[in-house]
């Protein structure tokens, strides 16, 4: 059997792609070679070229200057999420930092330049750590215009209209309450105008301007599932463009072509429409499209595509015939000697009459098999059919994997997503309880050989399972998982204050509930062997959360392995760290699920 390392993709990508003007080059960020760097690859194919790498920094967003002579990018220091903005020319010279000042969260607009290329649009919390403003930076004079948001709103910049008249932005309160704002650049003293407030609180995410500046496309759940819509500036109307019984997730437009991605039961389906004609469904391999960018000609699209059979790659789609050509190759050695196993979409009932969907991966050998219960992060995330090195390794070791989309998951409507709001460790834990019961009904599963795994929120949920569900757990793994919800709420990034109060709870007003739902409160009930993986620079789940839990368990003699990564934040972006962390997790799970202990 191949070792775990042979299942690991050769590179990981940040979810941002940018075509150069003319679309002959594509810029992106990946950790090919082991460390995060800015890369470019010809859209015609060929060997990617590393354009910039900053010691100790993680490249996040990428964008081309309008003249095509340079690439802008954001980068933070070892995952601390304090982003700086940098520029690098194509001639191989060293990157330069565009904006000086104290460390803060500087986030580029989706389309960060005005039509002339002189002004740069971004958001930052440099004035007040708890507030995210919009800033328009003059690249010639370094002067800046600042636009402050209403109370309780975090601004994010979308872009400036092609006629340079309007600035488009979103105002974030929570993942299900995002409004859209317009700023009239012809009237410098004008206040931001919320153009969606008449519709009440809902999800409104700006996407892209119409080429004639008549309005902009957006995504909204105003009519149920997330739909694509168009806002017309002239009559201030909002009209649906694409409505389905699944969420529209991504949308882009260029040269008369509209392209969008629909999340159908977890799988991404890509559609295009030209000049208001009948939409075309493209035959893309079944999996997940996390990023979509249209070329200027509207004839091609770049995607980040992840399937159970092949890890996430950059692909170029010809929108005329639907053909796909990969521009990168991240396939690991194991995929040359084994055939990856795809999941079965299943569902199970809960106590309150809901049905929870999930993905069950089964080894090819006859059962019954031990099983890993894998819990996604978020909590407003979604388990989807994509390549997972850990899953494929465990399957090769005759261990099944079950990954449910419990209450709070996205992809099933906003009502389902909001079930977890201010109820962490409540409805979600009940869903996980019923997941274990469901596994007990499957003849191919060994019901008393179950381990639990999760990262971030999934780590919290995994710890909650071990502490609060009365099952003989074989083992547990928590990656950057919070153990104390009060601490988590208190230490969240300052600009998340409204979001945390809405989704998790207020650390003062809701202290009693948060403490009662915290795994640290029930730590004395944890007896299963536990592996804890933690980034020392994590700005969301401080290391102290893991330190305290580990100390409590070790004092009782519980088997705990604890690994702290000094140069990582929330999760892993350095390839060597990721391989070491998940190699340990894989070995730990195999040892305890297959019954040979240490």
Residue 234: how many CB atoms within 10 A of its CB?
Answer: 7
Do 434 and 512 fall within a single domain?
yes
Comparing 334-348, 350-364, 535-549, the range with the smallest average pLDDT is 535-549
Cα 68 to the center of its chain, rounded Å: 28
**Phi-psi region for residue 163, left (φ > 0), alpha (ψ -120 to 50) or beta?**
alpha
Q: Determine, yes or no, domain membership for 197.
A: no
Which residues are within 8 A (CB) of 551 and not within 5 positions of it... i.e. 6 or more apart? none
Q: Determine, yes or no, domain membership for 102.
A: no
pLDDT tens, position by position, 224-258: 899 999 999 999 999 999 999 999 999 999 999 99
Q: What tokens appear for 442 in the block?
A: 């499957």
Mean pLDDT to the nearest integer, 103-110: 91
pTM equals 0.89
Q: Determine, yes or no, domain membership for 561.
A: yes
Distance between CA 325 and CA 340 in Å, rounded?
21
Please report the pLDDT score of residue 133 as a whole number. Answer: 94
CATH number at residue 549: 3.40.50.1820
Do 448 and 589 fall within a single domain?
yes
Q: Determine, yes or no, domain membership for 401.
A: yes
Do 456 and 525 fall within a single domain?
yes
Do 368 and 291 fall within a single domain?
no
Q: Determine, yes or no, domain membership for 381.
A: yes
Do 281 and 395 fall within a single domain?
no
Q: Are 476 and 529 in contact (CB under 8 A)?
A: yes
Q: Are 136 and 159 in contact (CB under 8 A)?
A: no
Q: 598 pLDDT exceeds 60?
A: no
Do 297 and 348 fall within a single domain?
no
Do 477 and 551 fall within a single domain?
yes
Do 356 and 280 fall within a single domain?
no
Please report the pLDDT score of residue 597 as a whole number. Answer: 44
Please report the pLDDT score of residue 17 as a whole number. Answer: 97
Mean pLDDT to the nearest integer, 22-31: 95
Do 447 and 588 fall within a single domain?
yes
Among 299, 331, 363, where does a domain finish? 331
Q: 395 pLDDT exceeds 90?
A: yes
Helix (H) or strand (E) holding 299: none
Q: Determine, yes or no, domain membership for 139.
A: no
Cα-atom radius of gyration of the chain, to the nearest Å?
24
Report the candidate in 563, 243, 274, 263 with the shortest Cα–Cα distance to residue 405.
Answer: 263
pLDDT tens, position by position, 409-431: 999 988 999 999 999 999 999 99
- Class of residue 27 by CB neighbours under 10 A (exposed 0-12, middle 13-18, buried 19+): buried
DSSP 259: E
Q: 596 pLDDT exceeds 60?
A: no
Tokens 């996407």 belong to 207
Q: 444 pLDDT exceeds 70?
A: yes
pLDDT tens, position by position, 373-385: 999 998 899 999 9
Q: Determine, yes or no, domain membership for 523.
A: yes
Do 304 and 348 fall within a single domain?
no
Do 475 and 579 fall within a single domain?
yes
Q: Determine, yes or no, domain membership for 220.
A: no
- Domain extent, residue 306, equals 249-331
Please report the pLDDT score of residue 540 as a whole number. Answer: 82
Among 331, 361, 377, where does a domain finish? 331
Number of structural domains in the chain:
2
Do 483 and 505 fall within a single domain?
yes
Q: How many residues does the chain have?
A: 598
pLDDT tens, position by position, 332-342: 999 989 999 99
Among 289, 304, 331, where does a domain finish? 331
């Amino acid at each position: 059997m191949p070792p775990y390392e042979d299942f690991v993709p050769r590179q990981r990508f940040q979810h941002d792609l940018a075509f150069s003007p003319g679309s002959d080059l594509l810029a992106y960020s990946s950790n090919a070679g082991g460390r995060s760097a800015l890369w470019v690859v010809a859209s015609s194919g060929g060997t990617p070229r590393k354009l910039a790498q900053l010691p100790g920094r993680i490249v996040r967003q990428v964008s081309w200057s309008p003249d095509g002579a340079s690439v802008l990018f954001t980068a933070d220091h070892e995952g601390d999420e304090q982003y700086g903005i940098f520029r690098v020319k194509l001639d191989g010279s060293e990157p330069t930092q565009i904006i000086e000042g104290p460390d803060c969260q500087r986030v580029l607009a989706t389309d960060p330049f005005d039509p002339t290329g002189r002004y740069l649009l971004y958001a930052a919390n440099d004035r007040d750590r708890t507030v995210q403003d919009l800033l328009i930076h003059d690249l010639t004079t370094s002067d800046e215009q600042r636009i402050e948001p209403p109370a309780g709103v975090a601004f994010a910049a979308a872009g400036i209209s092609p006629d340079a008249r309007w600035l488009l932005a979103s105002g974030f309160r929570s993942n299900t309450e995002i409004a859209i704002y317009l700023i009239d650049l012809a009237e410098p003293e004008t206040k931001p105008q919320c153009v969606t407030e008449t519709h009440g609180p809902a999800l409104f995410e700006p996407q892209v301007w119409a080429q004639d500046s008549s309005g902009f496309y957006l995504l909204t759940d105003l009519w149920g599932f997330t739909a694509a819509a168009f806002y017309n500036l002239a009559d201030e109307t909002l009209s649906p463009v694409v409505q389905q019984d699944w969420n529209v997730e991504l949308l882009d437009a260029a040269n008369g072509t509209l392209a969008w991605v629909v999340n159908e039961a977890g799988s991404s389906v890509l559609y295009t429409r030209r000049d208001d004609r009948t939409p075309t469904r493209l035959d893309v391999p079944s999996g997940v499209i996390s990023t979509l960018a249209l070329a200027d000609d509207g004839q091609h699209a770049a995607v980040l595509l992840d399937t159970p059979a092949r890890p996430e790659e950059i692909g170029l789609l010809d929108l005329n015939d639907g053909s796909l050509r990969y521009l990168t190759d991240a396939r690991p050695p194991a995929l040359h000697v084994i055939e990856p196993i795809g999941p079965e979409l299943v569902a199970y009932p809960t106590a309150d009459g809901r049905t929870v969907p999930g993905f069950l991966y089964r080894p090819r050998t006859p059962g019954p098999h031990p099983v890993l219960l894998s819990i996604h992060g978020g909590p407003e995330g979604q388990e989807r059919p994509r390549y997972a090195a850990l899953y494929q390794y465990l399957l090769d070791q005759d261990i099944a994997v079950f990954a449910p989309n419990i209450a709070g998951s996205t992809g099933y409507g906003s009502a389902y997503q909001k079930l977890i709001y201010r109820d962490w460790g409540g409805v979600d834990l009940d869903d996980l309880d019923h997941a274990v019961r469901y596994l007990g009904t499957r003849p191919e599963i060994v019901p008393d050989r179950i381990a639990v795994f999760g990262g971030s929120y999934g780590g919290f949920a995994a710890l909650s399972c071990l502490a609060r569900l009365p099952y003989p757990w074989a083992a547990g793994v928590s990656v950057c998982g919070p153990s104390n919800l009060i601490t988590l709420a208190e230490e969240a990034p300052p600009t998340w204050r409204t979001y945390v109060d809405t989704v998790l709870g207020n650390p003062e007003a809701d202290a009693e509930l948060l403490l009662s739902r915290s795994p640290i409160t029930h730590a004395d009930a944890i007896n299963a062997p536990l592996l804890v993986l933690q980034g020392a620079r994590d700005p969301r789940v401080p290391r102290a959360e893991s330190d305290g839990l580990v100390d409590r368990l070790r004092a009782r003699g519980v088997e705990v392995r604890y690994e702290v990564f000094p140069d990582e934040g929330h999760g892993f972006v350095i390839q060597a760290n990721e391989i070491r962390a998940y190699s340990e997790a894989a070995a730990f799970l195999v040892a305890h699920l297959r019954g040979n202990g240490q």
